[in-house]
Structure 1
């Protein structure tokens, strides 16, 4: 197969933007189309639940590249028009406006979409998800008057939104299903620290029964009903109940869709079709099982990897994608950073600082191997653990060898 002269990237978020930039930096000078479902040019999502929701930032500060930088990429930029179908055999992308984009290769970077509670199938005032710029601005408007906010979902998004909202003066209830929310992501010790901070700042944490549906009256959300039959009342409801890959438009493409767009170790889903970012599922180098990462750093790193392998061609040397997962979260003035899978550990081994002082770095160990690292305010020590996470090194580490005499 000859080198592609027409490449289309579907998804204009961080993964899509970094893909087109990597292609141009590598010398690709053919037609390059970037397709995005939202009207806005590529912007950063992590600040939505923090800086933008709080009002500290305005939307223009989230933009990843200014118009001049986008112009320099020489893109066929299609914003505000979702992709509806991919004909894999003719390499044609069908858009919602009826137009078609033929290409020699395509990179899927469509990310995820938020799940909603039963009863939220039609728009309701006061019922929100938080994925897009428009979502964040709508929730921010509802929080301007304070009132009662119910955050449903015990993940990072729910935690960040709860912390931001209570800082705005809202009366916040956080509905979670586990005793220590975030433990599966950050490990029990770090999650317990953050849970305590939420309580100290006035967040009411409601554990136990899951929400089974959204309550509403006269076109406005009024709370949720729980599995035990009780109701929780609220003026505003944020549904932070997880997400699913935005791959439904690929349903009849013949591509394998199982918890994401299934790829090989090189980020290829099929000949001429690649994937990067939240929607991509590829084999974990340690377990062999397919996994997805909904992490900002992964969106960037996997985009660069997919672009490199795409340009290598079928006869080139392809590189396996073997990332060290990395995430961060900002809550109550603290930045928590984590590598690997701290939530999978059975031992928490501090190497610097103190959890009680809210400044520490720790190795997260399972079956005698380092599977993750987590820390607050100890970035240098935490970075020192990254290589051990990548290698699944034994713990405790081997003592340094004495110098040769």
Structure 2
């Protein structure tokens, strides 16, 4: 495709978080000279999402300190940023999108970066309870901050013991709240990590004065004035002036479904992030894509995936032949603990734990037989870096050497 052809075309991107914003910027870098229009229902300039439950919640900074890019950078790259605008429908046959006010916008290429939204469980009384917040947007953080600044009582119940729930619990404890975490599974982080890691974080929160309770299935929420009472199926009850909901996410796939795109645990895309429609691409949390390293389809909720897919989509739209082939990575900050995760642990049948001199520094290595699948590194950047290289290059690790702390943690000393 020539530069002249690019200049005549319009690329519409729906969703202005990490995936959408990076795709718009990458399109310019790849040579797209046509129009780029970036729509998002959030009226705020696009911002970093991961810090919301961490440092942003506990700071007094405005969202302007947490922006993905300055307003001027969009102008410089000639990207039309349409904020506070809903897209209600996609019509692939005539290549248009319909906005919430009925306006029609034509496109040549369309990118769906629609992300996901919080699950609000259908718990009786939750919809009428006071001060109930998920943590997914800057507005959520503003609402939580306002509560913490104005409420005399700061008793908080967090529903859900995943990373978002635990990060929020740690941040609120730092702000002076009395916090209880209710997890319906038998351990926190049950879907994403080994029992040893669950125990570590359970103890971490306990030692900081946060009550973490498992096997707690919330049945009903009752409200009296500004006070809620959270009742579990086992009969236990907890007073809550504020309730944080961290019960997972729904993929925003409704637009794709109505456009008859193929859906499988998200919007199905190929190795170039193209959907079942040749002119429509999808990137970020909303996609279900094939990972060549793990040889299976996955859906990831991570900044890494959003950014990597955005670059692949931009290159593909500009007529190149990129292939998405990235090792997933994630992180979590809780109190003085930094957890860095690389790879996917699903399917592991053995873990190896390497403990360092510092009791708050260790790493958990997940193996399927002799294949290293993933590494969880706690306050241990070296383990994270070595784990990343080992997974990417499919190195065979000597598990005995790995646990021998008399040997330095270096790739050449732990190889089989």
What TM-score do the two structures reach when normalised by structure 1? 0.90
1:139 corresponds to 2:139? no
- Looking at structure 2, the residues matched to 183 and 216 of structure 1 have their Cα atoms a distance apart, in angstroms, of 30
- Per the alignment, residue 244 of structure 2 pairs with 238
Q: 1:223 to 1:271 in 2, by over 3 A?
A: farther
Say if 2:126 and 2:220, in contact at 8 Å, map to a contact too. Answer: no
Displacement after TM superposition at 1:190 (Å): 2.9
Give the aligned partner of residue 322 of structure 1: 325
Question: Post-superposition shift, 1:183?
Answer: 4.5
Aligned partners of 1:117 and 1:213 also within 8 Å: no
* 3-state DSSP of counterpart to 2:82: strand
Residue 119 of structure 2 corresponds to which residue in structure 1? Answer: 115
Give the superposition deviation at 1:136: 1.1
The equivalent of 1:10 in structure 2 is 14
Shift of 1:264: 1.5
After superposition, residues 20-59 of structure 1 pair within 5 angstroms as: 20-59=24-63
Aligned-pair distance for 1:228? 3.4
Distance 1:176 1:54 in 2: 23
1:78 aligns to what?
A: 82
Q: Which residue of 2 aligns with 1:381?
A: 383
Question: The residue matched to 1:244 in structure 2 has which SS?
Answer: strand
Cα distance in 2 for partners of 1:255, 1:221 equals: 45
Answer whether contact 1:150 1:223 (CA < 8 A) is retained. no
2:176 to 169, 176, 196: 169
Mapped partners of 2:135, 2:391: distance in 1: 31
5+ unaligned residues in a row in structure 2: which ranges? 402-410
1: distance between equivalents of 2:393 and 2:167?
Answer: 31
Instruction: Report 1:116-265 matches (<5 A).
Output: 116-118=120-122, 119=124, 122=127, 124-144=129-149, 145=151, 146-218=153-225, 222-265=228-271
CA distance in 2, matches of 1:93, 1:324: 33
> Corresponding residue for 1:358?
360
Aligned residues: 395
Following superposition, the deviation at residue 286 of structure 1 comes to 4.7
Aligned equivalents of 1:120, 1:60: Cα separation in 2: 36
2:318 corresponds to:
311
Residue 339 (str. 1) matches residue 342 (str. 2):
yes
Question: Is the counterpart of residue 61 in structure 1 residue 65 in structure 2?
Answer: yes
Q: Secondary structure at the match of 2:192?
A: helix
8 Å contact 2:31–2:318 — kept in the other structure?
no
Aligned-pair CA distance for 1:328: 0.5
Q: Is there any run of 5+ residues in structure 1 with no aligned partner, and where?
A: none
Give SS of 1:161's match: helix
Deviation at 1:345, TM superposition (A): 3.1
Contact 1:184–1:344, Cα closer than 8 Å, also in 2: no
Shift of 1:337: 0.1
- Give the deviation of 1:352 after TM superposition: 6.7
User: In 1, distance between residues paired with 2:24 and 2:354?
Assistant: 40
CA distance in 2, matches of 1:331, 1:51: 10
Q: TM-score, normalised by structure 2?
A: 0.88
* Alpha-carbon RMSD: 2.4
